[in-house]
Structure 1
Amino acid sequence: MTTFWMTLYVLVWPAITLGMLSVIVRAFYKEWRQARKEGRSIV
């Protein structure tokens, strides 16, 4: 039973990481689009 939980734990981390990365990328893209529309630098 311990092997099952360890396997699940190892396989869930990439899914959580991918989810967080997609949130960050979407937010950055939204901010970048808005900055370009307003003619200002994002940095």
Structure 2
Amino acid sequence: MSTLALTLYVLIWPALVALVLFVLGRGFIKEWLEARRNGEDLI
């Protein structure tokens, strides 16, 4: 495996983790704000 391919493979994982964390955080904040607007508990 070439050095460039190995470097890209290693650097992809933090980018994927950041993307998943962003999507989960955005969904959580959206649900939390909606619950606050409706005067409900999040859980």
TM-score interval for Structure 1 and Structure 2 normalised by the shorter chain: 0.7 to 0.9
1:18 counterpart letter in structure 2 = A
Q: Number of aligned pairs?
A: 43
Give the drift of 1:29: 0.2
* Runs of at least 5 residues in structure 1 that lack an aligned partner in the other structure: none
Matching residue of 1:7: 7
Give the drift of 1:18: 0.4
1:8-33 C-alpha deviation (Å, 9 max, x unpaired): 11101000110110000000000000
Name segments (4+ residues, structure 1) moved above 4 Å: none
Percent identity of the aligned residues? 47
Matching residue of 2:22: 22
